[in-house]
Amino acid sequence: MAYANENIALVAGGAGFIGSHLTDALLARGWRVLGLDNFITGRYENLRHLEREPRFDLIEADVTDPPPARLTRSGCRLSYVFNLACAASPPHYQANPEHTLMTSVVGTHHLLALAQAHAARFLLASTSEVYGDPQVHPQQESYWGHVNPTGPRACYDEGKRAAETLTFDYFRAKRGDARVARIFNTYGPRMRADDGRVVSNAITQALSGDDITIYGSGDQTRSFCYVDDLVEGLIRLMLHEGDYRGAINLGNPAELKVKELAEQVVRLTGTHSAISYRPLPVDDPRRRRPDISIARKVLGWTPQVPLPVGLKRTIAHFAEVAAREAAQLPLTKRRTRREKSGAPAGELRGPAAG
Ligand code: UDP
């Protein structure tokens, strides 16, 4: 299946939220893509539109296992390996913490060896979680972080920190070319409704008229990057030919309080949902905003999609999925948004057009 001079990428985590958007963007560039996923949080649904795409193939496998024979046999030639394989929302990565840690450590180890065997360039999708609950604000790549190594977030945070270590040692040992992206909070269509993150929760709750859950006071901050912007940054980083080899923050520096995000979702959906306050999870970072000076300078990258625009697109996607799912339910189980919200007829607006 390989042709000379053809770009062939392996996207580990290809059925996930970001992985599936990255796959689409690489295919749009004319590349061939092999997606690999264990479908723990990735979904076939995210790739269904590629069923008839001859330049795309999907392998079901877990990166904690040695790569399947299909990727190691002589006829297979990869030019790029993107490692996005890992559950990334706190409830999902904490559901099986040991597997989360192994996914980052053993999985990255396997994929680095695979990249070396193919002489392929490697990119690790790391995370802003490597900064933990940061004591430096905004977070620059030079900051070493403030992570609790024994807390419930450690399986993800320490796993990604170890994955970075493995990647930099691989590069220092001259085994191959490697890059590390530290991804800050990202949102957009194809997030799972049950992801448990603030954007997906707030939109799902608003659309179904349920209370919007805010953990803690809602004064903690995050900076939300639209998925298309993030994917553009990942591709630029992978294709970058300059000398810079440090980790690079990719995220939108527009910082806001979590309760302000909820207010925006309420406004854009026109919901009657109330806010319901819940306890703040353990080790929940209080502030987070990327310093993206390096990404701007080295990659010429800066996010383009403002939050209200990205939120409208995401809300439209969630509304469409909810409508499709409702249409598949037997009539007796259907509950309209109006019934759930208790809003009088005519008072529920749909999502505003993007
Ligand atoms: N959060 C919230 N309500 C929710 C889900 C999350 O208030 O329904 C808070 C969470 O405690 C955190 C912020 O929103 O302070 C972002 O959480 P998320 O899980 O989206 O990502 P994180 O940055 O924590 O990985």
| Confidence band for 75, pLDDT divided at 50, 70 and 90 | confident
Q: Measuring from atom 16 of ligand 1, which residue has the nearest CA?
A: 198
**DSSP conformational letter for 285:** -
pLDDT value at position 4?
52
Higher pLDDT, 346 or 128: 128
Q: Decide: 213 in ligand 1 pocket, CB within 6 A.
A: yes
Burial class for 256, CB neighbours closer than 10 Å (0-12, 13-18, 19+)? middle
| Confidence band for 5, pLDDT divided at 50, 70 and 90 | low
* Residue of 258, 261, 314 to test ligand 1 pocket, by largest number of atoms within 8 Å of CB: 258
Q: Decide: 277 in ligand 1 pocket, CB within 6 A.
A: no
| Confidence band for 165, pLDDT divided at 50, 70 and 90 | very high
Q: Which helix (H) or strand (E) holds 255?
A: strand 255-257
Q: At 302, is the secondary structure helix, strand, or coil? A: coil
**Ligand 1 center to residue 190 CA distance, Å?**
18
pLDDT value at position 330?
75
pTM: 0.92
Give me the DSSP letters along 193-236.
TTS-SHHHHHHHHHHHTPPEEEETTS--EEE-EEHHHHHHHHHH
Least confident segment among 210-214, 322-326, 338-342: 338-342
Give me the DSSP letters along 337-353.
HHHHHTPPTT----PPP
Mean predicted confidence (pLDDT) in 244-249: 96
Q: Decide: 90 in ligand 1 pocket, CB within 6 A.
A: yes
Q: pLDDT tens-digit profile of 17-56?
A: 999 999 999 999 999 999 999 999 999 999 999 999 999 9
CB 146 within 8 A of CB 134: yes
**What tokens appear for 98 in the block?**
């040991």
Q: Decide: 186 in ligand 1 pocket, CB within 6 A.
A: no
**Ligand 1 center to residue 225 CA distance, Å?**
14
Q: Which class does domain 8-191+224-252+288-306 fall in?
A: alpha beta
Work out whether strand 8-12 and strand 32-37 pair parallel, antiparallel, or are unpaired.
parallel
- From the list 80, 93, 131, 156, the catalytic residue is 156
* Residue of 208, 215, 266 to test ligand 1 pocket, by largest number of atoms within 8 Å of CB: 215
Q: Decide: 132 in ligand 1 pocket, CB within 6 A.
A: no
pLDDT value at position 354?
30
Mean pLDDT, the chain, integer: 92
Q: Measuring from atom 10 of ligand 1, which residue has the nearest CA?
A: 215
**Ligand 1 center to residue 95 CA distance, Å?**
16
Is omega for the bond preceding 330 within 30 degrees of 0, making it cis? no
* Residue of 148, 195, 198 to test ligand 1 pocket, by largest number of atoms within 8 Å of CB: 198
> Catalytic residue at 156?
yes
Q: pLDDT tens-digit profile of 321-332?
A: 999 888 887 766
pLDDT value at position 350?
31
pLDDT value at position 349?
32
* Residue of 156, 197, 252 to test ligand 1 pocket, by largest number of atoms within 8 Å of CB: 197
Q: Measuring from atom 5 of ligand 1, which residue has the nearest CA?
A: 198
Q: Decide: 222 in ligand 1 pocket, CB within 6 A.
A: yes
**Ligand 1 center to residue 59 CA distance, Å?**
31
Give the percent of the chain with pLDDT over 90: 88
Cα–Cα distance for residue pair 181/244, rounded to 1 Å = 12
Q: pLDDT tens-digit profile of 22-31?
A: 999 999 999 9
What is the Cβ-side half-sphere exposure of residue 13, based on CA atoms within 13 angstroms? 26
Q: Measuring from atom 6 of ligand 1, which residue has the nearest CA?
A: 198
Atom of ligand 1 nearest to the CA of 195: 19
Least confident segment among 61-70, 231-240, 274-283, 330-339: 330-339
**Ligand 1 center to residue 17 CA distance, Å?**
17
